[in-house]
Amino acid sequence: MMITSSRFVFFCSCVAVALSWCESAVAADKIQVVIENAGTSDIYITVRDLNTENKDKVLAGERINDADNKDRTISITSDGAGRGHIDWDSVTDPGASFCEHGEKTALSAGDTVYVYTNQSCTRAIIKRAKRSIGARVSSRTRAEVNCTGQSTYCVRRQTMSNACHVQKTTASPLGPDFLGPFDQRADAVNAMCANYDATLTDPTKCWTTDPEKCPVSKRSH
């Protein structure tokens, strides 16, 4: 059967409209929102896209200033209703003591999510753990380690900042015993570096190491 030119043009127009609609639908899978530092000091922020299967990190330990550079525009996945869903963790400079965790649902394109730090890191960690596992948790996140009077070296971690230090077991503690004891300093350093988290998101690990700086090859991911 012969297809007239008018029918052919109409057919092509329908195909073009359908393709355009499909492209729009694909584009709608992502929306942009703004993450803004609502505090008065620099913070390090991690944001996860909860509409993705693996809760993909959109920001990982990103520094957001409180003045000149206080926001980030990110792309996140939208659900069937075109809404986004994220959660976030924030911490002040790793040597400081304030953290926060938050979650935001039903985000529309162009929305702003305000992030901040206003409670002690220990309380923030416990709050998040309770929300995640729905159970009571203690303020300790690692089984008790006791280096007193044993071997030579111990890794100690400051409770508020998660800063780790290799010390002699007889030295005045800079924080609770975290790993050890060890006979060799090199073994203590290796253990500390294996528990280093550069993204500042895992409260069970070291967020800074002092005075040793862990080689990248030894850092935990």
Domain with CATH 2.60.40 in the chain: 30-133
Q: CA–CA distance from 29 to each of 18, 79, 83, 110, 137 (Å)?
A: 17, 7, 9, 14, 37
Query: Greater confidence, 157 or 216?
Result: 157
Q: Beta-carbon neighbour count of residue 109 at 10 Å?
A: 15
Q: How far apart are the first and last CA of the chain?
A: 65
Report how many helices (DSSP H) and strands (DSSP E) the chain contains, helices first: 3, 12
99-112 residue pLDDT tens: 778 899 999 999 99
In the CATH hierarchy, which fold is given to the domain comprising 30-133? Immunoglobulin-like (2.60.40)
One-letter amino acid at 57 equals: K
Q: 113 versus 136: which is more confidently predicted?
A: 113
The model's pLDDT over 166-184, given as tens digits with 9 standing for 90+, comes to 999 999 989 888 888 888 8
